[in-house]
């Protein structure tokens, strides 16, 4: 997998940056620097192609996930992060998953597959369009969710489903609503507040 690792301060927590459809490993660096300029950065590029655009997993159409591929890619990405944690000597519990859209969705997948690993996530425009029956325990997890009003891709019902997914598993959830399917400066500032 293509990636970038940037050490800002030895021993500091690490932002794991997961871009949206068509993005790259550097897309969310300005956001990471705004959230906390001392955190180290691991930016990862999705290795699935859709019409020449980078993604983290396959889909059949907007909001129609290839669930088998998502489970496989979630595991693949997790293994890659574990490998980089060894290589760069950071702990997985010291990471903050930061995702936008497609990146948020694979972050949710990894958290569900490895419920005791990641303790913090800032997810912008997430969509996880299925009911999850397994009751993972997220009681020591802090999640920031930025959701869209009038989002053409994620309905408010689906945004609420994501909120419920975390709340039903006892995560500590902070939410903010923005207009449409985007990563607004206002949401980024609220995420910075949440992080500090």
Active-site hit among 27, 104, 146, 181 = 181
142 is catalytic: no
159 is catalytic: no
Distant-in-sequence contacts of 108-113, Cβ < 8 A, 24+ apart: 108/162, 108/165, 109/57, 109/70, 109/71, 109/73, 109/74, 110/74, 110/77, 110/78, 110/81, 111/136, 111/138, 111/141, 112/74, 112/136, 113/71, 113/74, 113/75, 113/78
Can you give the pLDDT of all 196 residues of the chain as single tens digits? 999 999 999 999 999 999 999 999 999 999 999 999 999 999 999 999 999 999 999 999 888 999 999 999 999 999 999 999 999 999 999 999 999 999 999 999 999 999 999 999 999 999 999 999 999 999 999 999 999 999 999 999 999 999 999 999 999 999 999 999 999 999 999 999 999 9
Q: What is the pTM of this model?
A: 0.97
Q: State the fold for domain 3-195.
A: Rossmann fold (3.40.50)
Q: Which residue reads 């500090």 in tokens?
A: 196
155 is catalytic: no
Active-site hit among 27, 101, 146, 159 = 101
Active-site hit among 27, 146, 151, 159 = 151
């Amino acid at each position: 997998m293509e990636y970038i690792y940037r050490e800002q301060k030895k021993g500091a927590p690490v932002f794991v940056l997961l871009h949206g459809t068509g993005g790259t490993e550097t897309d969310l660096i300005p956001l990471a620097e705004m959230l906390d300029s001392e955190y180290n950065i691991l930016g990862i590029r999705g290795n699935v192609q859709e019409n020449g655009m980078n993604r983290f997993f396959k889909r059949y159409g907007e909001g129609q996930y290839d669930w088998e591929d998502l489970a496989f890619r979630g595991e693949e990405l997790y293994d890659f992060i574990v490998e980089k944690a060894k290589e760069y000597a950071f702990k997985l519990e010291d990471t903050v998953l930061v995702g936008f859209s497609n990146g948020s969705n694979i972050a949710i997948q990894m958290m569900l597959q490895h419920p005791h690993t990641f303790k913090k996530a800032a997810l912008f425009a997430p969509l996880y369009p299925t009911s999850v029956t397994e009751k993972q325990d997220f009681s020591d997890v802090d999640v920031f969710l930025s959701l869209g009003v009038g989002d053409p891709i994620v309905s408010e019902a689906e945004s609420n489903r994501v909120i419920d997914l975390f709340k039903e598993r006892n995560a500590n959830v902070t939410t903010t609503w923005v207009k449409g399917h985007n990563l607004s400066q206002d949401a980024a500032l609220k995420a910075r507040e949440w992080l500090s």
